[in-house]
Amino acid sequence: MKKIIIISICFCLSILSCAQKTQDCDCNRTTDNKYDEKRLPQDICIPCGDYKISYCYPKEDLNGDGLKDFFFLWKKNKASIGDTTYISIYFQNPDSTYTLVKTLNNLFPLFEGYDKMYHLLKIEDIPIKYQKTFERYFELYDGEYPMYLNYFSISSEGITLAMPEDAADVTIVKYRYDEQIKNWVYDKAYLHCKYPDIPDVPKDYSKYLGPTIDNFDYLFWDKMDYISK
């Protein structure tokens, strides 16, 4: 009987300890691998809870001040198809500390699965605002994933996004960093063909994808009535 009481007390203390640890959490630094864990700057945090840093990009000066800035991807610890992947950007300060500048949730809004098994995603399980786009793409393009980037980069030249239009063409959208507003503003867009002899075709999507990176939205195709009804 005494042994049972001791075990019960230990169990309760364990639960209280875990609860206290969760309540006291103010900086989640969980990473997907030891390599990223070792190179994670001290000031980097993501929200507490069931989240982890899934990939850290090489440090690079993003705002032209000569200091190496840091950005990375993070998502749920056990992400399911349809979950959001976030991008957080930290600028380095002169004293070598880091300050969070922006977290984006609109570049990879729907996790497509570790093995690209997005065709298993059920339309009714995703946010309502994306359902119409998914239905159209799945019908017109034989199940192609509509929220996909052929290419993505953040560098001193800005943020570059490449969205597939068909087998040969991609839409390139560029945002440049504006020091005055501390954000990336719409710069330009153009249609790029993978065949070398075909020149790029300038496009003006500023009213759909601007004025800043916060306005980027895969649903701009619908706003333009790009996909035939």
Q: What is the pLDDT of residues 103-115, one digit of tens each?
A: 999 988 777 665 5
- pLDDT for residue 121: 63
Q: What is the pTM of this model?
A: 0.77
End-to-end CA distance of the chain: 72
Give residue-wise pLDDT tens across range 54-71.
999 999 999 999 999 999
User: Which pLDDT band holds residue 102 (cuts at 50, 70, 90)?
Assistant: very high
Which residues, 6+ apart, have CB-to-CB distance to 202 below 8 Å?
Answer: 188, 189, 190
- The pLDDT of residue 41: 94
What mean pLDDT is predicted for residues 17-43?
76
Q: Choose between 205 and 140: higher pLDDT.
A: 205
CB atoms within 10 A of CB 108: 19
134 close to 148: Cβ distance less than 8 angstroms: no
- Residue 179 clears pLDDT 90, i.e. is over it: yes
- Phi then psi for 211, rounded to 5 degrees? -85, -15
Q: pLDDT class for 150, splitting at 50, 70, 90? A: low
Cα–Cα dist 45/23, whole Å: 16
Matching residue, tokens 């976030």: 86
| Mean pLDDT for the stretch of residues 88-102 | 97
In this structure, which amino acid lies at residue 47?
P
| Omega of the bond leading into 211 within 30 degrees of 0 (cis) | yes
Quick check: 220 pLDDT over 50? yes
